[in-house]
Amino acid sequence: MTPTNRTAAPLAAPDVERLARGLRAGDRTVLSRGITLIESKRADHRRSAAALMQLLLPHTGTAIRVGITGAPGVGKSTLIDALGSMLTAQAREIAVLAVDPSSRRTGGSILADKTRMARLANDPNAFIRPSPSSGTLGGVAAKTRETMLLCEAAGYDVVLVETIGVGQSELAVADMTDFFLVLALPGAGDELQALKKGVVELADMIAVNKADGDNIPRAKLAASQFAAALHILSPRSPNWSPPVVTCSALTGDGMQTLWSNILEHRQRLTSSGELAARRGEQQVKWMWTMLEERLFEPLRSDRTLKSALPRIEVDVAAGRLAPSAAVEKIATMLTRA
Ligand SMILES: Nc1nc2c(ncn2[C@@H]2O[C@H](COP(=O)(O)OP(=O)(O)OP(=O)(O)O)[C@@H](O)[C@H]2O)c(=O)[nH]1
Ligand SMILES: [Mg+2]
């Protein structure tokens, strides 16, 4: 082995096994190292990461996976803090992850998130990991999914995934979780308009947050309007009709009801076999998304390809190059990349 090769392979197979053992023993430093490994773009790291995932696979799948979405400022982080602390007080271990492909959350805003989740940030039974920084939605989602599995193998029994709800990120989070919670604001009609229909269709529950102080009557009104609207949509699951509740992440009101609903949903989907079926479908879908990411990667990383693509696009747009001929050209370059 040449020296260059040696530096390129810092994690040989036995190290992956040690990492897996440490991770399963609940060592947080090792968990963070594992996450760093799966977030790495280096080819040798990627192979180690895949080996790690395969080793840990039998020890995953046990957590209750909850996705949380809603407009900016609706109170997602505050709610995660309130719900999460309630759960750690019940001796559960919570992992908090995020999918934010816009990489809006760099530096300062990660800190802001931690202050929004002040209780959990200092809770030994909670593990908070910000969104992988930048990248395509597919890439960010794939890393978050694997991070979720690492957390499960490390013994966390509830995983809460926050998404900012930009682009298709809600869909990606709904695809990696068992229960999808949509937060809304008191403000009824307008709010209903503002929520994308596709997101409401994904909801396993809508919670009208900030139902405190003067907001309570408006929150109740909004909840009844959402309930009426949900009635019209065909439910996502034959075993579950999404309830609409009101809550206050600030005071903690409604957190217990929220959690009871999540448990009830889990019980029903488990006994009907829907949970296992849904997770199986998710796994296959993840595989395809990751493969797609992998196949497309040379388009983003290979220098020759990257520099050729804009020119090809211009030629296609100008009608000088047939799209089919362009595809042939790119495909040939891809096989050489
Ligand atoms: N009155 C009231 N304010 C709340 C409640 N929940 C959150 N807030 C406030 O709303 C603001 C936004 O809360 P966040 O938890 O950061 O909201 P978010 O949805 O995570 O926001 P982004 O991550 O930026 O999309 C903060 O000032 C919170 O204190 C609530 O239940 N009642
Ligand atoms: Mg937030």
DSSP code string of 83-134: HHHHHHHTT--EEEEEE-TT----THHHHHHHHHTHHHHT-TTEEE-PPPPS
Specify the residue with its C-alpha closest to ligand 1, atom 21: 73
Dist. CA 256–CA 85, nearest whole Å: 11
The CA 75 to ligand 1 mean position distance, Å, reads 3
Predicted confidence (pLDDT) at residue 138 exceeds the cutoff of 90: no
User: Residues 210, 215, 220, 222: is their CA dihedral positive or negative?
Assistant: negative
* Position in ligand 1 atom list of the atom nearest CA 251: 31
The Å distance, Cα 78 to ligand 1 centre, comes to: 6
CA angle 203, 276, 120 (to 5 degrees): 55
pLDDT-based confidence at residue 243 (cuts at 50, 70, 90): very high
Mean pLDDT, rounded, for 231-242 = 85
Please report which helix (H) or strand (E) contains residue 151, including its range.
helix 137-153
Give the count of beta carbons closer than 10 Å to the beta carbon of residue 48: 23
More confident residue, 246 or 334: 246
**Segment 220-233 mean pLDDT:** 86
User: What is the maximal distance between C-alpha atoms in the chain?
Assistant: 71
Q: Confidence band (pLDDT; 50, 70, 90) for 290? A: confident
Q: Is the pLDDT of residue 130 over 90?
A: no
Residue 4 pLDDT more than 80? no
180 neighbors 278 (Cβ within 8 angstroms): no
Distance from Cα 74 to the centre of ligand 1, integer Å = 5
Paired sense of beta strands 205-208 and 244-246, if any: parallel
pLDDT for position 2: 39
Q: What is the mean pLDDT of residues 95-112?
A: 67
pLDDT, position 107: 46
Q: Which residue's CA is the closest to the ligand 1 atom numbered 8?
A: 75
Q: Residue 240 carries which DSSP code?
A: B
Mean pLDDT of the chain: 87
Query: Each residue of 292-325: b (16+ CB within 10 Å) or e?
Result: ebeeeebeeebeebeeebeebeeebeeeebeeee
Contacts 24+ apart (CB under 8 A), 82-85: 82/249, 82/250, 82/252, 82/255, 83/160, 83/249, 83/255, 83/258, 83/259, 84/117, 84/119, 84/120, 84/123, 84/126, 84/158, 84/160, 85/119, 85/120, 85/123, 85/126
pLDDT at position 256 is 97
Q: How far is the CA of 75 from the centre of ligand 2 (A)?
A: 7
- Judged by phi (left if over 0) then psi (alpha if -120 to 50, else beta), residue 42 lies in beta
Pairing between β-strand 244-246 and β-strand 158-163 as defined by DSSP bridges: unpaired
- Residue at 336: amino acid letter: R
For range 24-33, the mean pLDDT: 94
Whole-number pLDDT of residue 196: 66
| Torsion angle of C-alpha atoms 233, 234, 240, 244, degrees rounded to 10 | 0
> CA 164 → CA 11, 169, 269, distances in Å?
34, 7, 26
pLDDT on residue 110 = 52
Lowest mean pLDDT among 150-159, 193-202, 268-277: 193-202
Which pLDDT score is estimated for 71?
Answer: 85
Which residues does residue 179 pair with via DSSP β-bridges, in sequence order? 66
pLDDT digits (tens, 9 = 90+) for 30-73: 999 999 999 888 889 989 999 999 999 999 999 999 999 988 88
| Residue 295 or residue 312, greater confidence | 312
In this structure, which residues have their CB less than 5 angstroms from ion ligand 2?
76-77
pLDDT for the residue numbered 301: 83
Single-letter amino acid, residue 334: L
The rounded Å distance from CA 76 to ligand 1 centre is: 6
- The yes-or-no verdict on residue 6 having pLDDT over 50 is no
**pLDDT reported for residue 1:** 39
Pocket test for ligand 1, best of 74, 78, 170, 218 (most atoms within 8 A of CB): 78
In this prediction, residues 167-196 reach a mean pLDDT of 80
pLDDT-derived band of residue 87, with 50, 70 and 90 as boundaries?
Answer: very high
Lowest average pLDDT, out of 70-79, 109-118, 207-216, goes to: 109-118
Residue 9 confidence class, pLDDT cut points 50, 70, 90:
low
Q: Which ligand approaches the C-alpha of residue 208 most closely?
A: 1
Query: How big, in percent rounded to 5, are the helix, strand and coil portions of the chain?
Result: 60, 10, 30
Dihedral class, residue 182 (left if φ above 0, else alpha if ψ from -120 to 50, else beta): beta
What mean pLDDT comes out for the span 203-212?
95
pLDDT, average across residues 95-116 = 68
On the question of pLDDT at 85 being above 50, the answer is yes
